[in-house]
Structure 1
């Protein structure tokens, strides 16, 4: 079978986590990487990572390429890489990991340069369609520019969809206890935002911050429109997110039945996406996990026969890029 030619535009946290996963998947050929910082930093930050440790392959930067795992990957340093000769690369999927190309208009020049399809690694700012595998990917009809939604939406959506199908979700509140991200400040400093808490040190504070997760989830799960509320709480850890679900169900379900539903039906419907564990976890235990979410079975409780609480974990980088790869397989072969 022909390999899928992919290009990574933006080589920050998500771009590098994505490449680490792609290096282990022989269904993909990485035909290029673009970012605007010095090329020696591409190789250095790929090989050495403060969260994931040292890459198991040697990495060499040479002649505008990275050489890693017997692959020679061309490097670009272009603010507008779409203006270069992307036609020559025969790109099936461009992973848009810059965090700034968030509309269809922003991405159209890449299609004009020969890219076949684009997957954006963030919720869009316009009506760009969003897809999550096993949530709404059956609605994919060959659109050339799509969003993979957000890491949080990829974690929360499987739980909400499954419970709504089998018990009915009357209302759901989800607290996202989220690791800090690269857009936060290490120390207190002014930033160009009206949200004052974003000026505060990510390494020294627990910060309740705004999130687009509620809007994103209601678009992905319109059957739950008006019944979801999320809260983002950033905490001083570099990776890992804990999702605290509080849900009022339409039909009674006890904790044991809920765990069985998640473990057995969830496994059939959301294999590789939703996992259930008997283990008691800390945030560092989820680092490197490729699932969209892992439910901690012992934490599932009933407050009443219809009001339930459960906890789930996600590596918000590895788990998310693994979902992007699953979406790429759907998009590429449509």
Structure 2
């Protein structure tokens, strides 16, 4: 793909990650959002949930410098919001105008979902409105919306989408995600850990990407946070073994009130009233992006009643003894060098809401960690599990597009 051309992106699933990838795409000048697919959202509702939200009245992410003009092509989007919240509708893309952005008509009001966001605030970068049942307008840019359930039937090729962001949480293995290729997409990036698709974490192993790989995973938000920190520690001091806990904000899979949960009984308890121990594959996934750590890390999750921003607490045994000050210095050096914009460093007395809208994958909290001795240390790193991760999805796409066959 030519480096001087904007990368056309489609989004499949307009849930939390799908919507934020759309927001980021519309602010960047190296990508073009062309289409969204979600079978459960109509255009007017989609717009609303993308533009508005709280606690921020105006969406202005910190630490995420972006060009003022972004054109993003979204070939496919799934999961804008819960199936229960919308009526089933289906629309077909109609436009051969190459200047128009292609969006899929969703079964619930997409405009509402784009305009409003409880965490990241209202969208005020463009006037966003519904042109018709098949088209959204971002300023003067039209975007076609589809509402197709079967990914094989989504006409990504007609929209010109080079990449599809698979963000439904459903098509996370290679065979299922490959359905997008049948619709004309050239590459698929899964916004979740995959059991068989190659996983890449920007700042850690993205340079290992090969152009023959058409389906890849951006891993998870927690894996992005942990792997970034773990790479620095392992490169500088060596990791013998470690245990991780992520204290994680509420996600869409949790319940507002107590309800049935077949596999995870604790997960069925009310999210806003409980601290809920849970499982996570994030630590083990680090071994897939950093083979040197395969089998050396595992961990768990504790879900807490906050709406965004999570924190990784990792305790590791080091091969090479080091003082806590030496560890801090190494992390700070990397955060100001080749990992700038990916890894952060702070000595401020921060709390979780201080990182809402932070685009970095991992922000090391120098005051929160502690060392027992030279070989046994606990490290703490914050991450906006929504915004930071979504920034990395786009960064990975841009990197892949830059790799020549």
Does TM-score exceed 0.5, indicating one fold?
yes
**TM-score of the pair, normalised by structure 1:** 0.96
What residue in structure 1 maps to residue 243 of structure 2? 173
1:145 aligns with 2:218: no
CA distance in structure 2 between the aligned counterparts of 1:159 and 1:270, rounded to whole angstroms: 10
Work out whether residues 162 and 266 of structure 1, in 8 Å CA contact, stay in contact via their aligned partners in 2: no
Work out whether residues 175 and 231 of structure 1, in 8 Å CA contact, stay in contact via their aligned partners in 2: yes
Work out whether residues 187 and 201 of structure 1, in 8 Å CA contact, stay in contact via their aligned partners in 2: yes
CA distance in structure 2 between the aligned counterparts of 1:85 and 1:239, rounded to whole angstroms: 34
What residue in structure 2 maps to residue 73 of structure 1? 143
Any runs of at least 4 consecutive aligned residues in structure 1 with deviations exceeding 3 A, and if so which? none
CA-CA distance at 1:112 after TM superposition: 1.8
What residue in structure 2 maps to residue 85 of structure 1? 155
Any stretches of 5+ residues in structure 1 without a counterpart?
Answer: none
More helix by percentage = 1
What residue in structure 2 maps to residue 10 of structure 1? 13
The structure 1 residue matched to 2:175, chosen from 90, 95, 105, is: 105
Q: 3-state SS of the aligned residue for 1:299?
A: coil
Number of equivalent positions: 332
1:116-155 alignment, distance < 5 Å? 116-125=186-195, 127-142=196-211, 143-155=213-225
Work out whether residues 284 and 295 of structure 2, in 8 Å CA contact, stay in contact via their aligned partners in 1: no
What residue in structure 2 maps to residue 288 of structure 1? 357
The structure 1 residue matched to 2:47, chosen from 39, 43, 64, is: 43
What residue in structure 2 maps to residue 270 of structure 1? 339
Work out whether residues 10 and 156 of structure 2, in 8 Å CA contact, stay in contact via their aligned partners in 1: no
More strand by percentage = 1
CA distance in structure 1 between the aligned counterparts of 2:31 and 2:316, rounded to whole angstroms: 40
What do the CA deviations read for 1:144-164 (whole angstroms, capped 9, x no partner)?
000000000000001111111
Work out whether residues 151 and 183 of structure 2, in 8 Å CA contact, stay in contact via their aligned partners in 1: no
Work out whether residues 361 and 388 of structure 2, in 8 Å CA contact, stay in contact via their aligned partners in 1: yes
CA distance in structure 2 between the aligned counterparts of 1:212 and 1:309, rounded to whole angstroms: 20
Structural RMSD (CA): 1.3
CA distance in structure 2 between the aligned counterparts of 1:34 and 1:218, rounded to whole angstroms: 33
What residue in structure 1 maps to residue 100 of structure 2? none
Work out whether residues 173 and 247 of structure 1, in 8 Å CA contact, stay in contact via their aligned partners in 2: yes
**TM-score of the pair, normalised by structure 2:** 0.79
CA distance in structure 2 between the aligned counterparts of 1:104 and 1:299, rounded to whole angstroms: 39
The farther-off stretch of 63-72 and 324-333 is 63-72
Work out whether residues 93 and 332 of structure 1, in 8 Å CA contact, stay in contact via their aligned partners in 2: no
What residue in structure 2 maps to residue 29 of structure 1? 32
Work out whether residues 341 and 360 of structure 2, in 8 Å CA contact, stay in contact via their aligned partners in 1: yes
